Amino acid sequence: MNYDTFKLIHSELIMSVQYIEQDLKLIYSILKSGKFYDNYSDVGNFPLGKLLKSLHELDQELGYSKIKEKDYDLLNQIRELRNYWCHQCYIDFHYIEDSQEHENAFQKVADRLHEDELRVYELQQKIEKLRKNIERKHRHKK
């Protein structure tokens, strides 16, 4: 993978993570009893870990279970993935001065990016589809 492709895929990975987080907030706000806007105000500033815990509890309470346990596991991993891709990935190769070692380190990070991007994108598509289905079923809620 070349550097320009890396930057593009990196950006798409971060975009997918942002979509997942926003969709989860919307799903929670729709499914929780009460007014949508009040519920969204409650979770709007939650960190991802707290949001996931609250959504998982609500999911179990309602018996909704549209998000599988393996997806909750990946959602929890996304916190770590996001931190790595936002705060560490470039550091893992940028400061290596030897050009061959730099390239090897870059390719190692690029391989990880490719793997993570595929997993996150697939999950993002599932969560977005779920959000749209929930929105259709609960249009009356405001």
Q: pLDDT per residue over 106-136, tens digit each?
A: 999 999 999 999 999 999 999 999 999 999 9
Task: Tell me the backbone φ, ψ of residue 90, rounded to 5 degrees.
Answer: -70, -35
Per-domain residue ranges for the chain? 3-136
In angstroms, how far apart are the furthest CA atoms of the chain?
Answer: 61
pLDDT higher than threshold 80 for residue 38? yes
Each residue's pLDDT tens digit, 58-104: 988 888 767 888 888 888 898 889 999 999 999 999 999 999 999 99
Count Cα atoms within 13 angstroms, Cβ side, for 137: 9
28 and 54 Cβ atoms separated by less than 8 Å: yes
pLDDT at 69: 84
Mean pLDDT, residues 27-32 taken together:
93
- The percentage of residues in the chain with a pLDDT greater than 90, rounded to a whole number, is 77
pLDDT higher than threshold 90 for residue 138? no
Q: Of 24, 46, 28, give the one whose Cα is nearest residue 36.
A: 28
Mean pLDDT, residues 9-35 taken together:
95
How does residue 142 score in pLDDT terms, banded at 50, 70 and 90? low
pLDDT at 84: 95
pLDDT at 79: 86
